[in-house]
Amino acid sequence: MILFVTVVLVLVSALPGWAAEKGREEVEVVVPPQGLTELDLEKEFCVYWGYPGAPVEVIVAGSGLRLTALKISYDQRNQLLTAEKAVRLETGKMVVTGETLVLTSELVRLPEGGEITTIEPERLRMVVKGPFSYHLEEETFQGEGGFTLWGSEWVMEGERFDGSLREEQVTAMGSPVIRWENGMMVGEAGTVITYDLASGQATAEGPTKTRFYQNRGVHSSGD
């Protein structure tokens, strides 16, 4: 999740209207052959169309960032970028996919959910079935509609979640579940499970059931 937000910040700061005064980064939008560009200079609104197998591509020079989608709209006046249909955001460290990705100066949204996979330094994969949002200033995020988060040795599920990058934690709600190699903890509808990404510790508020799995060895008697 940390890597996902870092990449989004790079893109946001690189877009016209969001770039820092000290040095703007170049953003290139590439429309494929037989694609379509609609540009309204008066309203400062651009729409770029690709097609299956040949999406529109956005490249931020020097960042290694690449965003592709079949349709990309940019409202420069309102500082709003929307990527739609087969959206893919990638760098050397992470990949984000979904049907819609919306960026503003304050908020990052996946209105229809999506998938986020980090590659370095730790591989984490999250699939969100409903809306997902990240607040840039507060560094907080939340989602609903069901989610699954895979770590290297654990899996967390629930109907809703929120978290904080500053505090390095994720909280699952709505019949939350956390599984690991030798056990699992299941909460009821009102239970809240909080997982600390830095320490690997989980706490639960509300009724839970915990199951542990033990390997049964062979006794010297043969039993």
HSE-up (13 A, CA, CB side) for residue 155: 10
Question: For position 160, what pLDDT does the model report?
Answer: 96
- Provide the CB-side half-sphere exposure for 207 (13 A, CA): 4
How many percent of the chain have pLDDT more than 90? 51
Is residue 66 a contact partner of residue 59, using CB atoms and an 8 Å limit? yes
Q: Is the pLDDT of residue 197 over 80?
A: yes
> Is the entire prediction scored with pTM above 0.85?
no
pLDDT tens digit sequence for 57-110: 988 776 677 899 999 999 988 888 899 999 998 877 778 899 999 988 788 889
Instruction: Tell whether the model's pLDDT for residue 50 goes beyond 70.
Output: yes
Looking at this protein, which amino acid is placed at residue 168? E
User: Any idea of the CA torsion for 174, 175, 176, 180, to the nearest 10 degrees?
Assistant: -170
CA dihedral 65→120→145→136, nearest 10 degrees, is: -60
Instruction: For 14, list phi and psi in degrees, rounded to 5.
Output: -85, -20
Strand partners, 188: none
At residue 7, does pLDDT exceed 60?
no
pLDDT, position 11: 53
Exposed/middle/buried for residue 119 (C-beta within 10 Å: 0-12, 13-18, 19+): middle
Are β-strands 94-103 and 114-118 bridged in parallel, bridged antiparallel, or unpaired? antiparallel
| pLDDT at residue 221 greater than cutoff 60 | no
Predicted confidence at residue 61, as pLDDT, reads: 72
Residue 17: predicted pLDDT: 44
Between CA 1 and CA 135 the distance in angstroms is 13
Alpha helices, DSSP H only, in the chain? 2-14
Please determine, for residue 6, whether its predicted confidence score (pLDDT) is greater than 70. no
| Residue 163: predicted pLDDT | 87
Contact 161, 147 (CB under 8 A): yes
In 3-state terms, what secondary structure has residue 10?
helix
pLDDT beyond 60 at 168 = yes
